[in-house]
Amino acid sequence: MVVRCWVVCCLMFCAVRSFALSNASAKCVLPVVYSARQFLCELRQPSLGNRTTFSRQGSTMSAEGGGAEAKLAAIPDVEIDPDGKFKYILIRCHGPGDVSKDIVRGFAWAEYHDHIYGKVKPVLDELQIQSQVLGGGKITHESAEKKIHVYGKSTGFGQADHSITVEKLKKKFPDYSSITFNNEGY
């Protein structure tokens, strides 16, 4: 299925690109085409924030097997880059029934917060998990110093409740000396 979608997207890209190159009035299409191409190339890269690991975990579960709690438990609470300054989002996942779970995703490859959700949502959809972004911000992660700082907001999704994010990070990194947040900055 994924390969078929990739082939269709590549064919569409090639068709639009050749039209834009052959038609002088269509030159304004090229920036959009090249942005789409970059996005599609990023989808192929296996190093995009543990996406392949996350997909493998989900693919072992059947839609009928296990309860809602088991499906949600299989989703890691936190997936962030090991170092650097990057955007993050806080996502609420709803399993079948009334159970829910908040997860944190943050990656340096994401130019915008919605790029992160664009990678996570299809995986959750495959698991039949509904999701919504509660907000976003930025994370500065210094693994050598065992420090994480959460701050800022997302222009598109608004500010996440950084206190929830920090609690998730403290569970993921119990040996860190400092995991803090503030509501300042962009």
**Does 153 appear as a known binding residue?**
no
User: Burial code of 138-174, b = ≥16 C-beta within 10 A, e = fewer?
Assistant: bbebeeeeeebbbbbbbeebeebebebbbebbeebbe
Q: Is 113 a catalytic residue?
A: yes
Catalytic residue among 113, 141, 149, 162: 113
Give the number of C-alpha atoms closer than 13 A to the C-alpha of residue 67, restricted to the C-beta side: 5
Which of left, alpha, beta for 103 (phi over 0: left; psi -120 to 50: alpha)? beta
The catalytic residues are 113
For the annotated binding site, the residues are 87
Binding annotation for substrate: 87
